[in-house]
Structures are given as C-alpha cells and as structure tokens.
Structure 1
Amino acid sequence: MSDESRHHRTAVVIPAAGRGVRLGPGAPKALRALNGTPMLVHAVRAMAASRAVSLVVVVAPPDGAPEVKRLLDAHALPERTDYLVVPGGDSRQESVRLGLEALPDGIDTVLVHDAARPLVPVDTVDAVIEAVREGAVAVVPGLPLADTVKQVEAAAKGEPEPVVATPERATLRAVQTPQGFARDALVRAHETVTGNVTDDASMVEQLGLPVVVVAGHEEAFKVTRPLDLVLAEAVLARRRANDGF
C-alpha cells in the first residue's frame, strides 16, 4: 500500500439486503446469477478493482449474512482488499447505517454502491475517490440524459398524466453509484436525516453540504428488470471478447 493510500483509506458499503421484486420471484436481486456468477460478487469485484479500496462491507439480508459470507468466500477477490459481511435492516437507509457502523477507525473516504450495478468500470470508482480526496464532501457519478424529461401531475394508475413542466435537459444528470463521501459527513447525514430518501447524496444535501457530479459511465447501469440482465450479459460477453475479462 502506498503512503498516499495509508493516509486516505477508503472503504465501500454495499447494501444488498433488498429482495428485487421487479426481477420477479426467486433469490434476492443481488444473488441473481450474471454469467454464472452472482451479481453481488461482480459488484464487490468492481469495487475491489480500485487499488484505493482497502475494505468492502457487504450488508446482507437480516437473516442471510452467513449465506452471503459463504458466497463471497467461494469466489476469488483481490487479496489486497478485505471484506466484511454484516446483517442489514428493513430499509436501504438502515442497511447503509449499519454498514457505516461496522467500519473500523482510520477510514476517511466512504463509497456507497448499489449491488445491482455490477459492471461499473474501475475508472469511475477511481474518479469518485479522487474527487473526495481533493476536498469534495460528496461526489456522485452521473450521465447526461438522452431523453427529454417531462414533469407531470400524478394521476391514478393507468390514467393520463398532465404535463406541468419540461425541465431543461442540459442541466439534468442521471445519477449512478458508487457515491463517495467524506466519512464524517455521511455519518452525520445518517444520524440526522429522516424520511424517504432515494440516495445517500440527497441526505448530505439536506445537511446543506455541497454535492458534485463527476462523469459516470454507461456500463454502470442498474440491473432492475429482466431486460437489464440481458444487457449485462452482453456487456460481459463483449468484455470477455475484447479484454479477456
């Protein structure tokens, strides 16, 4: 480990306690196989591919920590990166908080990554870490939107929804993970912010702290529906053909 890494230790928290109902019945989404390997293993390997990451904390379903630990033990991971499995909570927010509580002293930078984004390139991981190390409190990777976005007035399911505004697309970004944080700021957000939040960066925003966006990557998409699995398999096939991945 370099001197720089010793002074700026980075850990990743991966909440993987969700059931993933949109992928249909069966195993939790994070444990679904992708090219014969569970998505969670792909996600852990993606984070561990960064030489800056020294620890990955996987937050398992409340009753599934032993199973997840056996799963990770059975798959090869980079030797330089330790991993820890802890039981999660009833919500994503609670699971991230439990992951944060499991971090040892000496961790300065914390990434939070979706287990359902198994193919994020290491360059994206490193860009997020670097931005935090350069002084940003919170960093998210994001992509410009390809589609025009309409803000609508909510209507009953199946009913037409009136359009109330068309936001300027050039100022919008589709946010991905891993999201990176100064540890103290993220811990404070989880201690003070309550209510329904969609990501950890929005919690930091509610503290009045700045959040910045770095370039995301099209392969860091979230595997949510069956069609996403097909796309993920295609990405892996291309990587094997081009890079021997």
Structure 2
Amino acid sequence: MKYKRVLLKLSGEFMSGNGFGIQPEATKALAQEVAKAHQLGVQVAIVVGGGNFWRGARQGVGMDRASADYIGMLATIMNALALQDALEFIGVPTRVQTALTIQQVAEPYIRRRAIRHLEKGRVVIFGGGTGNPFVTTDTAAALRGLEMNVDAVLMAKNKVDGVYNDDPRKNPEAKKFDILTYHQALVQGLQVMDATAMALCQEQNMPIVVFDMFTEGNLEKIIKGERVGTLVHS
C-alpha cells in the first residue's frame, strides 16, 4: 500500500449529480468509492465543498464577502452530514468535525481527536472549511491534510482524469500531464488547486494527486500506488 493516510478533497457537485442540492444516488455512489478505499485499511479524511448549494462569487454578488463566505461554510457542513449518513448506511464508521461550532450535529474541530478517529479506523469529514472567510475549501484541504500528517492530498475531479494544459472538455487537443512540479503548476496557471493551497503543499512537500473520482476503482488504485491522474510534487 503506497498511502496509509490520505486527505480526499471533494467538490459539492459530486453529491448533486451536477445539479443543485443533494441527490441520494450521486451521494451513495460517492460513499461506495470511499468505502472501497476504507476497506483497504487506509485512513481517510475528507474535505467537502459546498458549490452544489452556494457559490459566493455568483450568488453573493453585492453581499458582504465575509457573510457570503460564512453561508458557503454552512453549505459544506450540510454536505458533510449527508456524506456521513451515506457512509454509515453502508457500514463505514464516520465522524464529522466542523470549523464552525454546531455541537448538536457535529464535533468541533480538534486536531488530536480527529487523528485518534483516523487511528481507530473512522472516516473523518471536515466541514466548514477553515472557519475563516476569504479562504477556499482547497486551502482547507491543504491545511487539514498537513495537520493530519497525511501521505497525500487527493483532489477529486468530475470526468476529468488529471491536469491538462487546457480544458479537455472544450479542447480535444489538450495535453494531459502525468507528473508536474508545484512550480510548473503555479507558473503555468494550471487548475490543480488555488495558489494559497498550492503554496502550503509546496512549502511542506505534500504530494497532490488530481484524478477522476467517478471512474470506478480510481481511488483504490491511487492508494495501492498505481499511476492514476496527475501527480504534483517537488
């Protein structure tokens, strides 16, 4: 097994079937892929976005930026609870920890407790981003990955199997990269994660794997060390 502990970054759209809100079938399919990885014995932490409910850049136009970002954090918590439910329905023990305190439905984020959950074989889902406005869930994924001492941050994409020099859905001539350095990704402006998150990973030499989550078995293959998607490292 190449990776013993990973941080999986998911966008909210995975749970909506590319629509709005939460679609049970899409969420179940996502949970099944996570469950397969969990069954290998790998420790899985997850950061989930909230774009299926709220996109501050579009819906928050004219609003105070901090207020719009807090709404987005609440959206990620809704997704975290829904994913927890889907995982536990198929027998995967799961805990949700949130950067915003909502103790009636989730634990507050406590680093040592989260690590202990992972050590006990529980999937840990982090909701609420970092708890700070002006910070993306990409940065939350990088930060939580570093705090959890994971072996890699896995950036899940929908129907895009890695990092390209252009959008492969619009340009059939787009070139896929199998391996990139952090510097190449930043200088070329490639869509790996936002610049702040990338800088965090680069500083701490945290490997990033960008892959297509909904190609069945991809998550398992990455954990076993098979070449899938694009690896970004030093």
TM-score, length-scaled by structure 1: 0.39
TM-score, length-scaled by structure 2: 0.41
Larger of the two Rg values belongs to structure: 1
